[in-house]
Amino acid sequence: MTAYTYILRCSDGTFYAGSTWDLDRRLATHAQGLGSDYTSCRLPVELVWFAEFNRIDEAFGLEKRIQGWSHAKRLAFIEGGFDAIKGWSARERALRSLGR
């Protein structure tokens, strides 16, 4: 069985990250306003990114990482993947600001 991490763009321009075993069913649930409290008041939503995993804990782990990211970092990731967000961690930014 395949697990998924996904990102939705909400009608207000924000992003929502989630994980599921059944992506098509979960997207339909979101579209009906039943997917989450966050998306239910920001319809319509659009799938803008997803990844497949063999294990749900891997999908859930990435979901939680994405949820901690800023809007700008999520957008960069959607547009360019992991390569686009290299150096975005708080630690790496702090080191750069110190000139290291």
Structure tokens at 20: 């599921």
Measured CA to CA, the distance from residue 79 to residue 33 in angstroms comes to: 26
Nearest C-alpha neighbor of 67 from the set 4, 3, 5: 5
Per-residue tens of pLDDT for the chain, all 100 residues: 899 999 999 999 999 999 999 999 999 999 999 989 999 999 999 999 999 999 999 999 999 999 999 999 999 999 999 999 988 776 665 655 566 5
Distance separating the N- and C-terminal Cα atoms of the chain: 45
Query: CB neighbours (10 Å) of residue 78?
Result: 15
- Residues carrying CATH 3.40.1440.10, the chain: 1-68
- Cα distance between residue 19 and residue 3, in whole Å: 7
Q: Name the amino acid, one letter, at 93.
A: R
Determine the Cα–Cα distance for residues 41 and 12; give it in Å rounded to an integer: 10
CATH 3.40.1440.10 fits 1-68, yes or no: yes
CA distances from 47 to 15, 66, 87 (A): 10, 15, 26
